[in-house]
Amino acid sequence: MRSLPEAAVPDADDPPPATPSATPPAMPLIVALLAGVLAVSVLLAIGLGAATVPPGETLRFLWAAVTGGSITAGDVTAYQIIWQVRAPRVLLAVLVGAGLSVVGVAIQAMVRNALADPFVLGVSSGASAGAVLVSVTGALTAFGIYAVSAGAFLGALLVSALVYLASRGAGGLTPLRLVLTGVAMAFGFQAVMSLIVYFVPDGESTSTVLFWSMGGFGAATWGALPVVAVVTVVTAVALRRFARGLDVLALGDETSASLGVDTVRFRRGLFVLTSLATGAMVAVSGAIGFVGLVMPHLVRLWVGAAHVRVLTVAPLAGAIFMVWADLVARTLVAPRELPLGVITALVGVPVFVVLLRRRGYLFGGR
């Protein structure tokens, strides 16, 4: 992965160009509060479900699994539910929620568009097409149970490469060309996916399309967590490291150039980083909409427009939201499970409409 250029970031002593009009709350207090809420949310989400396990018992089972402790024969079923089924699912929700939120922040600054989200560049459509193709053809059998996820990731990489090649010009990757090319590629790969389902009209391909278009964590396993964890952590740390550059980039290319930012290299590095991160997350969860679109705006309203603050709070807020959205999806109409994208859309649409109607709120400010 190519690193973001050091030259693209203003000096650390310089104040961020985007300054909120009101004094934001203290960051240590916000981070401590959200971290506590996230820990409680994870514990409750692991214990709640068709078979509810009290928080004390949930902690005991988790401690036994981590330390290699023993449990009684009567607790084996509950232990397996907690450790083998719910724990990886909830932790995957934490990672994907955090990852989509920080990527959404970066993409909105990269293309200077308040409606941008991690899927605006067509990555989700490419991943869905790749997953469906592998599902109906039986390809990539060398990856075993992760064949469909591997196909989704390869599809996401293919779309990212096509968007990059089609968008770059003499002036580099311009925001408008990126968005327009991404939308066009999204429609193109949706058509490919529809053709696959049309010519192979079986139940498995239809259910695969539904999963990858609406998202979910039903297939979460412990084996999928390490890769997603590394991708999410590296992406969050890297983007926060270059938060000052994002502050400048959001002001426009001319202003950025006057402040010494190489927008061509910086935007190219952001594109590579966010595309790889989005592809990795979509490969294990499908396309979960509205998280990467709404969470950045909500966080800006709370802590201000400076990206160093937004990128500190956004992953925690996104993780909390995703944990509870997944809990609602699997318990609201139990034993059936709702597509996670339905829950995030039902919450995200009204929230976004309220944001649009909020007087004085602008992208990147108040």
Q: Which residues pair with 172 in a beta bridge?
A: 169
In-domain check, residue 152: yes
Q: What is the span of the domain harbouring residue 95?
A: 6-357
pLDDT digits (tens, 9 = 90+) for 304-329: 889 999 999 999 999 999 999 999 99
Whether the pLDDT of residue 6 is over 50: the answer is no
Q: How many domains does the chain have?
A: 1
Distance separating alpha carbons of residues 129 and 157, to the nearest angstrom: 12
Secondary structure element (H or E) that encloses residue 172, with its range: strand 172-173
Q: How far, in Å, are 139, 196, 225 from residue 192 at the CA level?
A: 17, 6, 29
In-domain check, residue 266: yes
Report CA torsion sign: 294, 10, 238, 29. Answer: negative
In-domain check, residue 362: no
pLDDT digits (tens, 9 = 90+) for 181-232: 999 998 998 888 888 877 776 666 667 677 777 888 988 889 889 999 999 9
In-domain check, residue 132: yes
In-domain check, residue 262: yes
Of these ranges, 67-76, 85-94, 247-256, the one predicted with the greatest mean pLDDT is 85-94
In-domain check, residue 363: no
In-domain check, residue 366: no
The percentage of residues in the chain with a pLDDT greater than 70, rounded to a whole number, is: 88
pLDDT digits (tens, 9 = 90+) for 116-174: 888 888 888 888 888 888 878 878 888 887 888 888 889 889 999 999 888 887 767 78
Query: Can you give the CATH number for the domain in which 22 is found?
Result: 1.10.3470.10
Higher-pLDDT residue of 261, 105: 105
The reported pLDDT for the residue numbered 361 is 54
Distance separating alpha carbons of residues 331 and 49, to the nearest angstrom: 6
Taking a C-beta distance cutoff of 8 angstroms, is the pair 140, 207 a contact? no
In-domain check, residue 301: yes
Name every residue whose Cβ is closer than 8 Å to that of residue 346 and which is 6 or more positions away in sequence.
none
State phi, psi for 151 to the nearest 5 degrees.
-65, -40
pTM assigned to the model: 0.86
Q: Is 215 left (phi over 0), alpha (psi -120 to 50) or beta?
A: left
Q: Which two tokens stand for residue 2?
A: 């190519």
